[in-house]
Amino acid sequence: MVKVKICGVTLKEDALMIDNLGAHYIGIIIDENLARGVSIEKALEISLSIKNAKSVAVIVDHKKLSLIDKLSNAFDIFQLHYNPISKEDVDLIASLGIKVSPVIIIN
């Protein structure tokens, strides 16, 4: 079975529609400086509206991991989308019982 992830969701209404259409994962990029990214507050609002799909917090800067306590109850998976990803970063998230999905970046 192929699983579908829609990433870069910036609106709660879009997340609800994607969720109702049957996507398996909905990715929310937590960085308001990016075109498809949102603030932490907006990410929480979107994630908490998702009922069926798994919510994925896409972290593009390791400095955002300092917010892990604020985000840990609102997301099913954390996707680390920066390079290099340290073992400490993965261990920190895993210690909270959250699934970690690292990304391999090829230049």
- pLDDT single digits (tens) 78-104: 888 887 788 888 788 778 787 777 676
13-22 mean pLDDT: 98
Quote the pTM value.
0.87
23-27 mean pLDDT: 96
Task: Tell me the pLDDT of the chain averaged across its residues.
Answer: 89
- φ/ψ of 39, rounded to 5, equals -70, 165
> What are the CA-CA distances from residue 104 to residues 5, 59, 95, 101, 107 (Å)?
17, 13, 22, 10, 10
Q: Write down the pLDDT at residue 66.
A: 77
78: β partners: 57, 100
In 3D, which of 80, 40, 78 has the Cα closest to residue 56? Answer: 78
